[in-house]
Structure 1
């Protein structure tokens, strides 16, 4: 074999090796956005997705949003139970049905890929606060995260919680849900909460305007990036 041919084969082999190594280092990063109306109003393509794609430019970034307006957390948490002394109307939605819908969307988006990192971004709680179900909110949210751990077979999930705004700051149930959301973020190994108090719209104290949703996406992305980097630093 001539020296030129040997050199060509060596270069070819090196190129394949480098390509394989690069592919091996490329991570699949899954971001799941879910919740009720203020998550429905958020368009990830405006500010969330561009931020995480820029930060993790060398990775396979998958962003999935699946949300539904005006829904209680029981529609995500399968083991939800009415808190003692609380009441509910005749319409009783099925526990966990929106979670199942969300997971179908996630499975489709992954297309058989196994995520290296999973980040769960949650914006919900208004319905539970108004219904008087705040006593079981902490358990329901941590339980939903645990469902994700089991179903995705992924122990280290980053959890970003959008804390309810101060729209009903004098309401006991509302404040209890806010406190529960902060506690979930504090108790999760890789958790954080996002302040939304300044995002209330001028005509609607509960929902945000276009600029508010764009800012919410940026805040969610910043926390998600921070937690992903924190996870990497621990390994």
Structure 2
């Protein structure tokens, strides 16, 4: 029997900074036996193994499905935004009017829930057709019996307690046809990891109750891990409550940093991907002695540097325990105010920051990891201008670093921490700077191609594509050149 590999009805396409193969959770290749697979709605006929493929003959005009064994069931939440791939074939041509589909059932907080995804029929008879589907609410899954799409939370709950997976091959065709199933593989999602670090303007001194209530809703599709929790619950949905700054002590569950605005933008940039945000930030800390990497004066490195490494190690271990492969996409840095208080700190900021960037890339094994920093606003520290100059100098000298301005963001009454609207914008600007590192350059709307639509989008919402701190004619020229190159 031939293999036909052109038909892939559900797949994901997105720009990437790094690539990693998906982690396989479970597989059935049927090389030895049926591996516990059964059938449903086909008169109780058991499948058999023929030529290394699971096979059954249709006994009537009704529905016929292959049902997955226990190895594919239970807690498979790691497959959220991952894939299920398989090959199916039929002896009948044309396959229509049958309506193949995949249906998954699990237990949620509201009770049992079944989700269904319709498949394109396999076209050639006696040829295997390869399918890859994505476990994501952003794909055309429907809640069975409710004529609606599932939420991200519902999808994750179903996958965390799977009770049935059935691959329906036939629902209307005549009896007597044969159907084959082969190479069924469930893969965990490959997670895009973003790391956030710094002092109090990264930690967050902002109360979500002072902005639109929509920001109080968790982003369930994102995985969020932060420090200073005892015991640490691991990855949770992205929401408020991660600030460890003293300014948030009155009601810490409502306080947030740039992760909210950043997370919302990243969800738009990568609509089909799993995102993990790892945050370690401590208010009032300086780069000179606390975030410093090991040097002659501080041979063991600063306490914040070592805590950062411990946090990252723990978070990556948690990802591994969840069977996730991951790619490290970028490191976001919001720090420097405390180094502006003293001349000796400000004087060494450029050297310390250069070493910090080099060492964190070395620790992560990512020599070209994008490093994005927000240039601190002058809050009256005596030597803050030296820090600001150093931040720009270091970022401009590094082809994989980028800086942006925060001078237009308003402060809270304390005169040093950004207010709630400013904090949301701060997160959004971190996300915008990722455009600098994404190919193709000039693809402003991130549809995979640089064309006239991007030129129009840029004129409506200018983006700093060359990372010089301002969106101007030079950035528009990048879009124009990209459009011309693609013609």
Place the TM-score, normalised by the shorter chain, in its bin: 0.7 to 0.9
Indicate conservation of the 8 Å contact 1:191/1:227, yes or no.
Answer: no
Per residue, is there more helix in 1 or in 2? 1
- Say which SS state the counterpart of residue 100 (structure 1) adopts: helix
TM-score normalised over the length of structure 1? 0.77
2:131 paired with 1:15: yes
What per-residue deviation string (whole Å, max 9, x for no partner) do you get for residues 117-164 of structure 1? 421110111111113311221122222222222222112111111111
The worse-fitting range, judged by mean Cα deviation, of 185-194 and 37-46 is 37-46
| Alpha-carbon distance in 2 for matches of 1:165, 1:213 | 13
Per residue, is there more strand in 1 or in 2? 2
- Say which SS state the counterpart of residue 338 (structure 2) adopts: helix
Higher relative contact order (CA 8 A, sep 6+): 1
1:146-161 equivalence runs, <5 A = 146-161=358-373
| Alpha-carbon distance in 1 for matches of 2:284, 2:295 | 17
* 311, 334, 345: which one aligns with 1:123: 334
Q: Which residue of 2 aligns with 1:226?
A: 435
95 and 215 in structure 1: CA distance in 2 versus 1, 3 angstrom threshold: closer
Indicate conservation of the 8 Å contact 1:167/1:200, yes or no.
Answer: no
Please report how far the alpha carbon of residue 9 of structure 1 lies from its aligned counterpart in structure 2 after TM superposition: 5.9
Q: Which residue of 2 aligns with 1:206?
A: 416
The number of residue pairs the alignment matches comes to 216
What per-residue deviation string (whole Å, max 9, x for no partner) do you get for residues 49-107 of structure 1? 0101210122232211110000111323222566xxxxxxxxx9647333324423542
28 and 17 in structure 1: CA distance in 2 versus 1, 3 angstrom threshold: closer
Please report how far the alpha carbon of residue 219 of structure 1 lies from its aligned counterpart in structure 2 after TM superposition: 1.0
| Alpha-carbon distance in 1 for matches of 2:424, 2:283 | 18
78 and 191 in structure 1: CA distance in 2 versus 1, 3 angstrom threshold: closer
| Alpha-carbon distance in 1 for matches of 2:306, 2:278 | 17
Q: Which residue of 1 aligns with 2:282?
A: 68
Indicate conservation of the 8 Å contact 2:411/2:418, yes or no.
Answer: yes
TM-score normalised over the length of structure 2? 0.40
2:85 paired with 1:4: no
Q: Which residue of 2 aligns with 1:88?
A: none
Q: Which residue of 1 aligns with 2:356?
A: 144
Query: Can you give the 5+ residue segments of structure 1 that lack an aligned partner in the other structure?
Result: 83-91
* 302, 313, 320: which one aligns with 1:104: 313
What per-residue deviation string (whole Å, max 9, x for no partner) do you get for residues 28-58 of structure 1? 4221110001001153453110101210122
- Say which SS state the counterpart of residue 160 (structure 1) adopts: strand
Indicate conservation of the 8 Å contact 1:77/1:99, yes or no.
Answer: no
Greater C-alpha radius of gyration: 2
- Say which SS state the counterpart of residue 46 (structure 1) adopts: helix
Indicate conservation of the 8 Å contact 2:201/2:257, yes or no.
Answer: no
CA RMSD of superposed structures (Å)? 3.4
What per-residue deviation string (whole Å, max 9, x for no partner) do you get for residues 176-226 of structure 1? 100111112112212211211122325222111111111111111111x31
Q: Which residue of 2 aligns with 1:32?
A: 195
Indicate conservation of the 8 Å contact 1:75/1:93, yes or no.
Answer: yes
- Say which SS state the counterpart of residue 97 (structure 1) adopts: helix
| Alpha-carbon distance in 2 for matches of 1:109, 1:44 | 23
| Alpha-carbon distance in 2 for matches of 1:17, 1:45 | 30
| Alpha-carbon distance in 1 for matches of 2:315, 2:363 | 11
| Alpha-carbon distance in 1 for matches of 2:363, 2:285 | 22
